[in-house]
């Protein structure tokens, strides 16, 4: 039975590929899970159009992320915090705090999960953190924690 994958299946195929699979595998697993659809001429055209539009959207998004990366690379984010003795902070600066400041700077919502840091920042100083904009675009930003 020929099916068209709607999601990537490691070892089986990628989105949009037409693959011959056993009837039971298709009817009992792929089709009910929404991982594939039956291959018909109409579905082939529809999937091809969807893939083209998806690739176009991804290229536009990639260009936008490249532009944001150029803005972010080497940029400094200043975060003010209350400081106690030995320049230790009351509390800490977290990925959420950094993401909030970057969102203001870029006018794009940066998620706290996209911030790569070893742990919360608990002292004043300058730190380098990574920002995951996409799979291959990861600019480095300097975070300056000051009193």
pLDDT tens for 77-124 read 888 888 887 778 888 888 888 888 888 887 778 888 888 888 888 888
The enclosing domain of 87 has a CATH number of 3.10.430.100
Bridge partners of 116? 130
Domain ranges, residue 57: 2-67
Describe the crossing of helices 95-106 and 41-72 by its angle, rounded to 10 degrees: 90
Which domain-ending residue is among 37, 67, 97? 67
Question: Global pTM?
Answer: 0.65
Give the model's pLDDT for residue 28.
Answer: 95
Residue 23, pLDDT > 90, answer yes
Structure-token pair, residue 138:
């990861």
Give the model's pLDDT for residue 117.
Answer: 85
Residue 24 near residue 31 (C-beta atoms within 8 A):
no
Bridge partners of 20? 2
Asked whether residue 7 falls in the same domain as residue 57, the answer is yes
Asked whether residue 136 falls in the same domain as residue 89, the answer is yes
Distance in angstroms (rounded) separating the CA atoms of residues 35 and 29: 8
Per DSSP bridges, beta strands 36-38 and 88-93 are unpaired
Q: Give per-residue pLDDT as tens, 37-59.
A: 998 888 888 888 888 898 899 89
SS3 60: helix
């Amino acid at each position: 039975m020929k099916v068209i994958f709607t999601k990537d299946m490691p070892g089986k195929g990628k989105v949009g590929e037409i693959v011959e699979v056993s009837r039971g595998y298709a009817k009992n697993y792929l089709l009910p899970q929404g991982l594939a659809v039956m291959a018909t001429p109409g579905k082939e055209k529809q999937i091809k159009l969807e893939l083209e539009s998806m690739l176009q959207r991804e290229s536009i998004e990639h260009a936008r992320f490249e532009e944001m990366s150029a803005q972010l690379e080497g940029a400094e984010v200043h975060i003010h915090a209350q400081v106690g003795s030995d320049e230790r902070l009351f509390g800490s600066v977290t990925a959420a705090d950094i993401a909030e400041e970057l969102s203001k700077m870029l006018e794009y919502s940066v998620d706290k999960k996209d911030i790569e840091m070893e742990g919360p920042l608990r002292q004043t100083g300058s730190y380098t953190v990574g920002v995951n904009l996409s799979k291959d675009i990861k600019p480095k930003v300097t975070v300056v924690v000051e009193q």
